[in-house]
């Protein structure tokens, strides 16, 4: 038992670890793949998130590949995310569902029919405990009553860790976006400062006047302030400042 717990812990640590360029689909894709490999009887696993009231499957993995079954699997995916499916309850109310036999459970007839047509007989749906959005783990098996208490507990552990990983990758991407925005802002500030310096030196004006001139040029030309500044700085670097100044109406009578 101890070895089994250790192996599971190692599995969870491995799939939860974020690597460079991870996005939500990549990160959660590792979870669905490992769940299918780890949970006995699991033939398919999917993770779905609810965004703006619309459910979307963001990660999905099948144990086997069969082109003949793909149309039925596609139909099942459509039924899975429809309002009124058991997944909708899980996403909306954080309500887990364990369907022991899809052939005898009549609560969701359209969903059950699609699952049976895809070759499945039992299903397990668990909410994904993510802080910023609603998500759910869905598992399918081709055997009735495939997901007993032990499987349920294992999948629950995967769901808990997937929720944490989902939050972490969102935070990571948000942080990376913020860093890029700060870098862009810093670069913008630098190039505007260089353009201000060019105008100050050329026309003998103060920094505040030079900045006001740049802003007016930006408005008159309907060009971003950073782009006007960049054009002037680049023109200065290649000895073409005078034509650039004329382009923005900043030339003096002396050239």
Question: CA 155, 158, 164, 170 torsion: positive or negative?
Answer: negative
Confidence (pLDDT) at 54? 85
**What pLDDT is stored for residue 44 in this prediction?**
94
Task: Judge residue 252's burial from the number of C-beta atoms within 10 Å of its C-beta, 0-12 exposed, 13-18 middle, 19 or more buried.
Answer: exposed
Predicted local distance difference test score (pLDDT) of residue 103: 94
Q: Compute how many other C-beta atoms are within 10 angstroms of the C-beta atom of residue 237.
A: 10
Mean pLDDT by 10 residues, the chain (255 residues): 45 51 68 82 88 84 90 95 91 89 94 96 84 78 85 66 57 52 68 86 86 86 85 87 83 53
Query: What is the distance, to the nearest Å, from the Cα of residue 143 to the centroid of all Cα atoms in its chain?
Result: 33
Extract long-range pairs of 156-161: CB within 8 Å, 24+ residues apart.
Answer: 156/126, 157/8, 157/12, 158/12, 158/31, 158/34, 158/35, 158/38, 159/126, 159/127, 159/128, 159/129, 160/129, 161/12, 161/15, 161/16, 161/31
* Residue range(s) occupied by CATH 1.10.10.10 in the chain: 176-247
The candidate with the shortest Cα–Cα distance to 126, out of 38, 24, 32, is 32
What gap in Å lies between CA 213 and CA 229, rounded to an integer?
11
- 0.85 surpassed by pTM: no
What's the CATH superfamily of 2-170? GAF domain (3.30.450.40)
Amino acid 87: pLDDT: 93
Check residue 49 and report its DSSP letter.
E
Report the top-level CATH class of 176-247. mainly alpha
Q: What pLDDT does residue 70 have?
A: 92
Half-sphere exposure of 28 (CA within 13 A, CB side): 28
Tell me, what's the pLDDT at 227? 87
Domain with CATH 3.30.450.40 in the chain: 2-170
């Amino acid at each position: 038992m101890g070895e089994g717990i250790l192996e599971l812990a190692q599995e969870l640590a491995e799939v939860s670890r974020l690597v460079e360029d991870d996005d939500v689909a990549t990160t959660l894709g590792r979870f669905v793949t490992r769940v299918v490999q780890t949970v006995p009887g699991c033939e398919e696993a999917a993770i779905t998130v609810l965004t703006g009231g619309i459910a979307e499957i963001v990660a999905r993995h099948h144990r086997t590949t069969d082109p003949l079954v793909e149309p039925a699997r596609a139909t099942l995916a459509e039924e899975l995310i429809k309002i009124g499916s058991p997944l909708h309850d899980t996403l909306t109310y954080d309500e887990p569902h364990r369907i022991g036999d899809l052939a005898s459970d009549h609560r969701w007839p359209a969903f059950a029919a699609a699952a049976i047509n895809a070759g499945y007989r039992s299903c397990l749906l668990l909410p994904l405990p993510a802080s910023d959005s609603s998500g759910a783990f869905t598992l399918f098996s081709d055997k009735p009553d495939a997901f007993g208490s032990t499987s349920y507990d294992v999948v629950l552990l995967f769901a808990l860790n997937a929720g944490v990983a989902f939050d972490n990758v969102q935070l990571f991407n948000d942080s990376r976006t913020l860093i890029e925005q700060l870098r862009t802002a810093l670069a913008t500030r630098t190039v505007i400062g260089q353009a201000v310096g060019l105008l100050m030196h050329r026309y003998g004006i103060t920094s505040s006047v030079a900045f006001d001139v740049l802003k007016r040029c930006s408005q008159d030309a309907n060009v971003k302030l950073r782009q006007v500044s960049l054009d002037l700085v680049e023109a200065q670097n290649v000895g073409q400042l005078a034509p650039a100044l004329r382009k923005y109406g900043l030339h003096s009578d002396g050239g």
